[in-house]
Amino acid sequence: MAYFQYKARNNKGALITGGLEAVNLDAAASELLGQGYTPIDIQAGKVRATNASRDSQPRKQQSKTKSASGKKSSRVDLNADAFQVLNAALKKRKITLDDQIIFARQMQSLTRAGMPLDRALKGLQRSNKNPTFQAILREVQQSLESGQTLSTALGHHPKIFSTLFLSLVDVGENTGRLDMAFEQIVRYLELEKNTRKQVKSATRYPTFVMATIAVALGVITYFVIPAFADTFARLGADLPLETRILVGISDFVVNWWPFLLGGGVSLVVGFKTWARSEKGGLAWDEKKRFLPLAGGVIEKVALARFARTFSMILKAGVPIVHGMGVVASTVGNRFIAKRIIKMREGISRGETLYNTAVNAGMFSPLVLQMIAVGEESGTIDQLMEDVAEFYDAEVQYELKRMGEAIEPILIMVIAGMVLILALGVFLPIWDLSAAARN
């Protein structure tokens, strides 16, 4: 057995070093993974006679009594470890939708060319620019080499690969057409990316304007109005009602702003905590479908995801009952997902898809008619793809209408703010100027 020295990270991300005995380098890496450590560097080393058995386990410190030079060396090692941890944290990047699209597209090309999966993953590790994704691909490769299937290996990372992703890969493995599975995944992810881009584009302008208005109101309330209030107080003039209201609001904000800020942060944190809970999230997902302007977009985006995902599941050959569960996890709305689960329960009892869709109460008469025709003709997968395109067009129309409706609302808000300032701040100045002239 050979002796190896290693650097690895535990499940908390802390860097550890040590040594172990193994048959070869792969066996050493497998032993570390089995102990819950992620290997960073493994190199062949020499076994020390007195500490060989002790070095076979991860260690943080071997001796409590050291000389002065030993202490200094240990301090340097700790500093180096700290820098390595900091460097790894800075290099850690979030895995985006673009990373997943590139990975799926590359896997489609490599599997179509007939390249073995382990070799394909090794090549992708070298070409990938995201260190976080490189580590995930390394773990997936190691799982494959231990005898697991690709869908099982990818399933160890549920935050990266969705249930739909894993289901399509599993079907591709069982049918021997992984390239077709990754082709469908690429198409789905690109459509999802396009939908997100449209929503962000439509909400970017109003979000920026509202943030600017909020900052302007804060500056005026905290700095401008108190300065005018001091001037009016020195002149001893009688102030109009509008000015007295503005001055009162300004005084309240200036005196109590820490509590207002803390209360606002508490409300936001409390709302997010409630929305993440099972009961609160279900209630919020149901209510936000009725939000002014944005509610229609939210609902149609979820229904478009349902139709598109359902079409892909049917084309891939996934059983409809299992496929409905996969679809429910991809729509991004827990209320609509609950309705889809009820549809699945109805189908498992022997009801037709059309009847379960009617009972769900989510679809328009046109969409229900398309579902009925598809079910009767046996082309439900194609008809559901048409339904997805219909909802995509509806989303684009709703986003355009929302943008056209938001612009005049923002103009009215700005005009109202200017009017309030004119009545509350400038009107007393005009009155004082007129009194001075007289």
Give 431's pLDDT tier (boundaries 50, 70, 90).
Answer: low
Residue 256 and residue 180 share a domain: no
pLDDT at 262: 93
- pLDDT at 265 > cutoff 90: yes
Instruction: Give the integer Cα–Cα distance in Å for 70 and 78.
Output: 12
One domain for residues 321 and 428: yes
Same domain? For 125 and 172 the reply is yes
The reported pLDDT for the residue numbered 1 is 66
Q: Is the pLDDT of residue 270 over 90?
A: yes
Query: 168 is in which domain, residue-wise?
Result: 97-190
Q: How many structural domains comprise the chain?
A: 3
Domain's final residue, options 133, 164, 190:
190
Shared-domain flag, residues 265 and 405: yes
Q: Are residues 162 and 37 in the same domain?
A: no
134 with 30, same domain? no
How high is the pLDDT of residue 283? 92
The whole-number pLDDT of residue 284 equals 92
CB 344 within 8 A of CB 365: no
Give 433's pLDDT tier (boundaries 50, 70, 90).
low
Instruction: State residue 296's pLDDT score.
Output: 86
Does residue 197 lie in a domain region? no
Do 288 and 314 sit in the same domain of this protein? yes
Which structure tokens are listed for 54? Answer: 């002790």
Between 63 and 105, name the one with better pLDDT: 105
Q: Looking at residue 60, what is its pLDDT?
A: 40
Together in a domain, 271 and 367? yes
Dump pLDDT digits (tens) for 345-393: 999 898 888 999 999 888 888 888 888 898 888 888 888 888 888 888 8
Identify the band that residue 65 occupies on the pLDDT scale cut at 50, 70 and 90. very low
How far, in whole angstroms, is CA 23 from its chain's centroid? 42
pLDDT at residue number 52:
39
| CATH number reported for the structural domain that contains residue 182 in this entry | 1.20.81.30
Does 11 fall in a domain?
Answer: yes
Same domain? 157 vs 15: no
Q: Give the pLDDT score at 84.
A: 52
pLDDT of residue 231: 76
- 191 forms beta bridges with none
Residue 13 has a pLDDT of: 61
CA distances from 401 to 208, 368, 405 (A): 18, 25, 6
The residue type of 421 is L
pLDDT class for 136, splitting at 50, 70, 90?
A: very high
Residue 351 belongs to a domain = yes
The confidence score (pLDDT) of residue 272 equals: 92
73 and 101: one domain? no
